[in-house]
Amino acid sequence: MSDMQETTDSQNKDDTGSEEASAPVTKGVDVIADEVKRLPNGPGVYRMLDENGEVLYVGKARSLKKRVTSYTRLQGQSNRIMRMILSTAAMEFVVTRTEPEALLLEANLIKRLRPRFNVLLRDDKSFPYILVTGDHESPAIVKHRGARKRKGDYFGPFASAGAVDRTINALQKAFLIRTCSDSYYENRSRPCLQYQIKRCAGPCTGEIDHEDYAGLVSEAKAFLSGRSQLIKKQLAEQMEAASADLEFERAAIYRDRLTALSHVQAHQGINPQSVQEADVFAIHQEGGQSCVQVFFFRTGQNWGNRAYFPKADKSLEEADILESFLAQFYDDKPAPKQILLSHGLAEQELLSEALSERTGRKVDIAAPKRGEKKELVEHALTNAREALGRRLAETSSQARLMKGVAEAFDLATTPRRIEVYDNSHIMGTNAVGGMIVAGIEGFAKGQYRKFNIKSEDLVPGDDYGMMREVLTRRFSRLLKEHARDDNPATKKDPLPEDADAAEEDTSQSMSEMPAWPDLVLIDGGQGQLTAARETLESLGITDVPLVGIAKGPDRDAGREKFFISGRQSFMLPERDPVLYFVQRLRDEAHRFAIGSHRARRKKDIVKNPLDEIAGIGPTRKKALLRHFGTAKAVSKAGVDDLASVPGISEAIAKLVYDHFHE
């Protein structure tokens, strides 16, 4: 269905053979003009939907009536907005009390619904924090991600788990704080290795009393709270005092702690003097893509940075993308006291008001023009420019490889989505099928899938049967969740009338990951390929290209044979970049499948026979194992012996006995 088409007329034939026109589907300006009549002048959020009910766009407005009215005329609109208007078949509205409330709701809906015409924040994982626990007499320092339910002091956010690990590692050397779990702590009878290598003070076995350990914890908190210079000064004084008293061993301990703290700050790079708590955002646009670089500064320390590549129409300006990005970024994260930007925003005051309302304190947003803050923004902008340059280079290389794949396997178009399937098992046990996905931007790990083989009719080790089950489950679900029209192999949309719109649409579609694969690679030879083709044909799917990859003689990499229906098997030149690329895809599928298999096998190995007995939960299982020692001993026990265990009634004892003596 073309985006530029306002109405759809189709002809249907009745049983008598006469033709009768179906009712036209109203779309575009007419639908929007009709909605305007009933809209209030107050603030709110609107959603534009296509004829299938999919959300095209989510927007907010100070006056719903005025904003939606602007969509009732096509003159002066950009190609993007014009296509959006002409695709609109229905609209939905939510009235809010204030405009800041509408802004926050808009950001939430965009993240949840992911409309195609909005700027979309990708890779929105939660940030890790450092937690100094507060629910134990000897607090631990641990990495934390997610809801802050545990009692203690949280420090962050850090840009990555690696940044947290490095900081905790250095803090262990500097303050000798434990990182073990509470259960591990409780069961120690002698100091562990961390104590031996001088990374823990050993509170678990009394190597340090609780008062002195509390002093170390207090120093660690002070350092993480920004009082690093004070802590370093105190340590230096203690080192000099120990040296003056000729206690050189104690002086060496203080020296090592000072070195560890210097190591933390050396890895933090920029540590601003005038900025205590701020997030710094800079955006750079090039080649139709955008990169937003974020730096986190807390307690005057640099706690890392992260690059984001939001999905946005290339016609949007940098400031517009950054504005939408910020609202979504803080949808589920606490905002700092200060946000520094590379570009001034049209609705900067509104965003500041909305974030202040959410956090319960003033959040200042500014695009600095001079001084240290300006330098921080410039540094972030340099990083954004470099990150986008690297990404464009990688994307260009990946695009060339994708084009090479199309040529090597005689595909009609350059693939945007390649799916690779592999199975892993040992003599048929713990069988797992794996699917990995690659696109124009590399591996799409968020779309990987594993399939635990469930069929009880399969002969152990039947690789063909496993492949049939995996493909049946995968493509049955695909047919159910995505209409056949979504399949790029069958979709034949008429081109937009406007040439610029056509170019823009093509660029946008190449960067999007479609639901249907343009190519399916099967790890196996002719037999696996035949099984795969028959499986898809049984589902009515005949237009998805299939290629089998058989390992070469002696399983040599570089001598793989490729199988395609209707063609003789063939090999690619040994140094062909496409061959290396396909090998990487196959190896990634193998890694993913065998990793899933090992995880399932490990779970089965540690599974206890008592887990299979209905009515035996964790408490009774623990009581039985404490009394008898092992599950094997439980299986040999009589009913009377079982009933003598605290918490085990005669009925439960009989149940356990019967399970092992059927």
Mean pLDDT, each 10-residue run in order, the chain (662 residues): 36 41 63 90 93 92 93 88 92 93 93 90 80 91 86 86 83 86 86 88 90 88 72 76 78 74 57 79 91 87 86 89 92 88 93 91 92 92 92 86 92 93 76 90 89 78 86 92 58 39 41 85 91 93 92 66 90 87 91 82 66 79 81 83 87 85 72
Place of tokens 């700050």: 265
Question: What pLDDT does residue 24 have?
Answer: 46
Question: What pLDDT does residue 427 have?
Answer: 63
Domain range annotation of the chain: 25-113, 129-267, 278-392, 409-492+511-603, 609-660
Contact 438, 431 (CB under 8 A): no
Return d(Cα 322, Cα 570) in angstroms, integer: 49
Q: How many CB atoms lie within 10 A of CB 600?
A: 19
Mode of pairing for the β-strands spanning 519-523 and 546-550: parallel
Question: What pLDDT does residue 553 have?
Answer: 62
HEC readout, 300-351: CEEEEEEEECCECCCCCCHHHHHHHHHHHHCCCCCCCCEEEECCCCCCHHHH
How large is the C-alpha radius of gyration of the chain? 31
Backbone angles phi, psi at 420, to 5 degrees: -125, 130
Fold of 409-492+511-603: Nucleotidyltransferase; domain 5 (3.30.420)
Burial of 82 (0-12, 13-18, 19+ CB in 10 A): buried
- Angle, helices 248-267/161-175, rounded to nearest 10 degrees: 160
- CATH classification code of 609-660: 1.10.150.20
Return d(Cα 232, Cα 1) in angstroms, integer: 67
Question: What pLDDT does residue 49 have?
Answer: 93
Fold of 278-392: Nucleotidyltransferase; domain 5 (3.30.420)
Question: What pLDDT does residue 632 have?
Answer: 79
Query: Residue 175: what residue type?
Result: F
Strand order in the sheet with 55-61: 55-61, 44-49, 90-95
Backbone angles phi, psi at 431, to 5 degrees: -70, 135
Match domain 25-113 to its CATH number in 3.40.50.1820, 3.20.20.70, 2.40.50.140, 3.40.1440.10: 3.40.1440.10
Return d(Cα 135, Cα 405) in angstroms, integer: 57
Mode of pairing for the β-strands spanning 90-95 and 44-49: antiparallel
Same fold across 278-392 and 609-660: no
550 DSSP β-pair partners = 561
Closest residue by Cα to residue 6 from 66, 89, 62, 65: 89
Contact 118, 48 (CB under 8 A): no
Q: Residue 170 is encoded by which pair of tokens?
A: 């250095």
Question: What pLDDT does residue 289 have?
Answer: 87
Question: What pLDDT does residue 511 have?
Answer: 52
Closest residue by Cα to residue 298 from 99, 199, 185, 155: 155
Percent composition of the chain: helix, strand, coil (DSSP 3-state, to 5):
45, 15, 35
Query: Cα–Cα–Cα angle for 554, 560, 562, nearest 5°?
Result: 140
